[in-house]
Chain A
Amino acid sequence: MFLQFADPTAVEAALEAFCTATPEGALLALVAEADRGNIPQLMKSCSERGIKLLGAVFPELLVDSALHKKGLLLLPLGRAPRHTLISIAGGDSAGEIAAALASGLPIRPAAGTHTVLALFDGMIPNIASIIDALYLQWGDDVRYIGANAGSETFTAIASLFDGQQLVENGILLILLENHRGGQLSHNYRYAARGAPASSIEGNRVAMIDWRPAFEVYQELAREQFGVDITRENFYEFAVHYPLGIVKADGEVLIRVPVGLDESDGSIYCLGEIPANAMLTLMEAIPAGNMDTIESLAGSLRQGPHFAAYLIFYCAGRRLHLHDATADELRALGEVLAPATLVGALSLGEIGASRTSPYPQFHNATIVALPWPGR
């Protein structure tokens, strides 16, 4: 249910009604970044009513194909789902973090009948490595789906919470039992020539093909798309020509460039890039192209019908599509009708794609996750 903190009576009434209808129930709260100051009161209100609260802060919320800068989405999570919430200390390796998460959420081998909803703070620099390490712990005993929370300004904020704590640099994993997972898709187009990322540190690409990254990026954009990307127009253009990491199964992981270090030509991307990855220049999906929606709907239609879907829509995709975002969301609402769509604008997405069950860290995708209950 979508509520406004500006109307505290409505929030309290909704919590009271939920508590009455589902004693000892749990709620997933998605909070718009502009309203994150209200989280402590929400935690208190849920605690008073014995409601198990889990939640995350996102730049904007999605309700019925429209994005909202303010508000609160409350989604029922059934009775006491198991979860773990940790805050990462600097210096911990991906393996150590994954081990801490796995010990906080023990999972028995269950051949993928459960799904882990993974919500990461978008400021964590090695999310892709943590996902790899988590797969070493759990393998395909569960399915993985999720998104990155935080501020669209890429400043550090406390973005993940449960009933007791609101943390910065957090990871919140929620086990959705008897859940078959979700789907994600981007449909950005692969362009020809690739080049090795020869110097990488987390999400910073210092060198491509042993030359300053920006120099090669400019060259690829000029060669492949006839576009002159300069230091001046970088922030305006780069979102339309993201970098891609090529895989053998033909899939390409998108990395949206979000920063440029003019002193040495390093490019900062939304998300970690594996060392030695081959990078290629991608062409973002054209406005009005509904291939992503059809691809998602095709996969989701194969399963049972659900009354609601949790959607994560990448902020980088919105930056590229601008107003056409609304068209895409409207189309998604239509293909999944009469289901309700709720969700958030995300800072990177997590999940297996249609072709690959191995979970990965993505950019520029739309994630759709069937949600039991309205």
Chain B
Amino acid sequence: MKRDQILQVLYDLALVTGSETSVRPLVTATLQRLLYHTSTSCGLFFSELAPVADVDGQGMVHVTLYQAIAGGRLRDRVGETLSLPAALFGNGSAQISDPGLLASLFGEDNRYRYGLRLMVNPHDFIFLFAPRHLPSELHLDLVFAPVIGNFDHSLRMCRDNERIMNELREELETRTRLEEQLIKKEKLAVVGQLTSSVNHELRNPLGAISTASYLIRRKMAAGDDSWIAQLAVIERNTERCNSIIDQLLGYTRHARLSLENIDIGALIDVIIKEMDIADSIAVHRPDGGGGQITVEADSELLRRALINVLQNAVQAMQGQRHQASGRVSEITVSTRLTDQRFEIILRDTGPGIRTDELERIFEPLFSTRSFGVGLGMPIVRNIMAQHGGDVEINSSDGEGTSILLWLPLSRIRSPQHGD
């Protein structure tokens, strides 16, 4: 073989050993290329050779058969640790033609008369076998010495790579498992909280309905016609039950938006009127009335969000009424169009929200009231998020609350931006 040819072969083998990132493909591709180049027909790769000190009394040593191409029945033992003559794994690379050594590997199935041992490092060995002597003019062990050096380097890199990948995989699996456990725990907690809350909320009106029914039956039996008043109790509490169910559905169901152009000022005015807010609470509309800003939104959802926020303000004021604080109960609802967004701002002069409560206000099922499912503000946030906006709250204990609902400019239909 000429020098030029040797360089060509070395180039080919160097590129093969340098282009793999995992051990098995590297070993397989290298064995394939060596078989391709050398007129041999069987390639073996042994790893994890036990130290010389572990050679037993019969001169045998333990080693793992990592890969075998051809080799008859030996191929079925890939992955096994074999006990083989230590003489097979001598120092350096060498030719093997001792029939005893060949038989120790292949047994009665032996079809090879010639072998070439290429020592990769003291623990890893490549063997090539052929049924007859190789015709090459050169000592292949010497020719391949630089390639085997490269292979050793690649092998170490692939092993490091696999170790790192395994560690990362294990870490990822652990993290995923912990996350799943956490989610499961949170789900169970939410279900428990929901059950408790719904239980509490529904039992009150249902108890009232049950009592009213009992009174009706007794009064009717006694010929007392005042039972009709109890019907109003039943109707009011049935309505409350429906409202609780509506809230639950509103939070869990993400309906597709049914978009339409809404005069936002007019919508606010209608809601305030319909809510029939007590006279003790003054409601202000500084930018007054409709006909100013039109947004594209789901009118039913936006209406629900505004009602939830207004109801919270009114309920906060009603609580304040009994405190004889001397403060005036006022709600101010205004709108503002900025360069970035459209805002609806509701300010009340209520008692404000404590910092620890403020941190949990968007948490489902969190409520500070003895009644209430605790889904009002989470529903408001969901609705605003569905429209591409959000809700922001500014409040401090005793200082009133300001709730800002905003929509992106893309939702504004009139006036056009820049008008």
Residues of A within 8 A of B (CB): 109, 111-112, 132, 135-136, 139-141, 190, 192-194, 196, 246-251, 274-278, 280, 355-358, 360
- List A contacts of B35 (CB < 8 A): 135, 358
Closest to A132 in B: B32
Residue in B4, B38, B109, B137 whose CB lies within 8 Å of A109: B109
B378 to chain A, nearest CB (A): 48
Q: Write 18 A-B pairs (CB below 8 A) sorted by A numbering.
A: A109-B72, A109-B109, A136-B32, A139-B42, A139-B75, A140-B42, A190-B5, A194-B4, A246-B9, A247-B9, A248-B37, A248-B38, A249-B38, A249-B39, A251-B39, A276-B19, A355-B135, A357-B39
Q: Is A276 touching B36 in the complex (CB atoms < 8 A)?
A: no
Q: Is A249 touching B16 in the complex (CB atoms < 8 A)?
A: no
Task: Identify the 10 closest CB pairs spanning chains A and B, nearest first.
Answer: A139-B70, A278-B8, A248-B37, A276-B15, A357-B41, A356-B39, A249-B39, A248-B9, A140-B70, A140-B41
- List A contacts of B111 (CB < 8 A): 111-112, 140
Interface residues on B, range: 35 or more
Q: How far is the CA of A196 from the CA of B143 in the complex (A)?
A: 19
Residues of B within 8 A of A (CB): 1-2, 4-6, 8-9, 11-12, 15-16, 19, 28, 32, 35-42, 69-73, 75, 109, 111, 130-131, 134-137, 140, 143
Q: Is A247 touching B37 in the complex (CB atoms < 8 A)?
A: yes
Main secondary structure of the interface of B (DSSP, over half): helix
Q: How far is the CA of A360 from the CA of B38 in the complex (A)?
A: 13
Q: Is B73 touching A250 in the complex (CB atoms < 8 A)?
A: no
Q: Is A248 touching B109 in the complex (CB atoms < 8 A)?
A: no
Q: Is A192 touching B4 in the complex (CB atoms < 8 A)?
A: yes
Q: Is B137 touching A250 in the complex (CB atoms < 8 A)?
A: yes
- List B contacts of A140 (CB < 8 A): 41-42, 70, 111, 131
A129 to chain B, nearest CB (A): 10
A14 to chain B, nearest CB (A): 40
Q: Is A141 touching B72 in the complex (CB atoms < 8 A)?
A: yes
- List B contacts of A193 (CB < 8 A): 4
Q: How far is the CA of A280 from the CA of B72 in the complex (A)?
A: 35
- List A contacts of B39 (CB < 8 A): 249, 251, 355-358
Q: How far is the CA of A276 from the CA of B72 in the complex (A)?
A: 31
Closest to B37 in A: A248
Best-buried of A192, A249, A275, A278 by chain B (most CB within 10 Å) = A249
Q: Is A358 touching B73 in the complex (CB atoms < 8 A)?
A: no
A199 to chain B, nearest CB (A): 13
B113 to chain A, nearest CB (A): 12
Q: How far is the CA of A274 from the CA of B32 in the complex (A)?
A: 12
Residue in A112, A280, A357 whose CB lies within 8 Å of B8: A280
Q: Is A136 touching B28 in the complex (CB atoms < 8 A)?
A: yes
Q: How far is the CA of A251 from the CA of B135 in the complex (A)?
A: 10
Q: How far is the CA of A141 from the CA of B72 in the complex (A)?
A: 7
Known: A248-B9, A357-B131. A111 touches B72 (CB 8 A): yes
Q: Is B12 touching A358 in the complex (CB atoms < 8 A)?
A: no
A110 to chain B, nearest CB (A): 9
B144 to chain A, nearest CB (A): 8
Best-buried of B2, B9, B12, B136 by chain A (most CB within 10 Å) = B12
Q: How far is the CA of A139 from the CA of B75 in the complex (A)?
A: 9
- List B contacts of A248 (CB < 8 A): 1, 5-6, 9, 37-38, 136, 140, 143
B280 to chain A, nearest CB (A): 76
Closest to A360 in B: B36
- List B contacts of A112 (CB < 8 A): 111
A198 to chain B, nearest CB (A): 10
Q: How far is the CA of A153 from the CA of B15 in the complex (A)?
A: 35
Q: How far is the CA of A109 from the CA of B1 in the complex (A)?
A: 34
Q: How far is the CA of A206 from the CA of B71 in the complex (A)?
A: 37
Residue in B8, B69, B70 whose CB lies within 8 Å of A194: B8
Q: How far is the CA of A139 from the CA of B106 in the complex (A)?
A: 14
Residue in A132, A135, A277, A355 whose CB lies within 8 Å of B12: A277
Closest to A280 in B: B8
Given contacts A136-B32, A355-B135, 12 further A-B contacts (CB under 8 A): A109-B72, A139-B42, A139-B69, A139-B72, A193-B4, A194-B4, A194-B5, A246-B8, A250-B136, A276-B12, A355-B39, A357-B130
- List A contacts of B71 (CB < 8 A): 139
Closest to B31 in A: A136
Best-buried of A246, A248, A250, A251 by chain B (most CB within 10 Å) = A248
B394 to chain A, nearest CB (A): 59
- List B contacts of A360 (CB < 8 A): 36
- List B contacts of A132 (CB < 8 A): 32, 36
Closest to A193 in B: B4
Closest to B16 in A: A276
- List A contacts of B1 (CB < 8 A): 248, 250
- List B contacts of A280 (CB < 8 A): 8
- List B contacts of A196 (CB < 8 A): 8, 11
Q: Is B8 touching A135 in the complex (CB atoms < 8 A)?
A: no
Closest to B138 in A: A248
Q: Is B135 touching A249 in the complex (CB atoms < 8 A)?
A: yes
- List A contacts of B72 (CB < 8 A): 109, 111, 139, 141
B142 to chain A, nearest CB (A): 12
Q: How far is the CA of A40 from the CA of B88 in the complex (A)?
A: 58
Q: Is B37 touching A249 in the complex (CB atoms < 8 A)?
A: yes
Q: Is B5 touching A250 in the complex (CB atoms < 8 A)?
A: yes
A108 to chain B, nearest CB (A): 10
A96 to chain B, nearest CB (A): 15
- List A contacts of B69 (CB < 8 A): 135-136, 139
Closest to A277 in B: B12
B140 to chain A, nearest CB (A): 7
B304 to chain A, nearest CB (A): 52
Q: How far is the CA of A265 from the CA of B12 in the complex (A)?
A: 23
Q: Is A278 touching B109 in the complex (CB atoms < 8 A)?
A: no
Known: A111-B109, A194-B4. A358 touches B134 (CB 8 A): no
Closest to A192 in B: B4
A330 to chain B, nearest CB (A): 30
- List B contacts of A247 (CB < 8 A): 9, 36-37
Known: A109-B73, A139-B71, A139-B75. A358 touches B11 (CB 8 A): no
B295 to chain A, nearest CB (A): 51
Q: How far is the CA of A346 from the CA of B135 in the complex (A)?
A: 29
Q: Is B134 touching A249 in the complex (CB atoms < 8 A)?
A: yes
Q: How far is the CA of A193 from the CA of B4 in the complex (A)?
A: 7
- List A contacts of B9 (CB < 8 A): 246-248, 278
B76 to chain A, nearest CB (A): 9
